[in-house]
Amino acid sequence: SEGIFIYGDKAFVARQAKGVSIVDISNTILPEELGNYETAGSTDAIAVRDNLAFVAERSNGLRVLDVSDPANIAKVGFVGTAESPEKLSLFGDYAYLSCSMEGVRIVDISDPEDPVLNGIYSGDFDAEEIFVKEDTLYVSNQDGGLLMIDVSDPLHPQEIAS
């Protein structure tokens, strides 16, 4: 598997070509799989908020799933990115996606049924891990560097330092 997110007593697992699984981890000796969701693309990262799972789906985009009933996971929304998102981070009304050599994509998720690609930051870097805190997006570069991007205006992200 690629990505994992712990939310309460559940583990949400991005399982690459096998989609998404939800596992009850309340009994650490005997975890129990509660449900699966098959995706069109390989799932690389997942984050959960308020019974919604946000899934970075390689070669496709960002998929939003209703996970309130793990046995019946349902699609809520989707936005294509034309790139291959590999990692993601949520902050406020936005999902931030690292897309390797294509940079970073910023998606407005204020309406989970209709997420909108809002901003793009591209440069001479290979985006890996991604983390956002307040108005600063931190992106690790595959070459070993750290890129900091001001995202106070998600439509126009600006590099602070690299």
Spatial contact of 116 and 79, defined as CB atoms under 8 Å apart:
yes
Binning the chain into helix, strand and coil, the percentages to the nearest 5 are 0, 55, 40
pTM: 0.90
Q: Tell me the C-alpha distance between 109 and 99, whole Å.
A: 18
Q: 70-118, pLDDT tens digit by residue?
A: 999 999 999 988 777 888 999 999 999 887 777 788 999 999 999 999 9
Phi, psi torsion values for 71, nearest 5 degrees: -80, -15
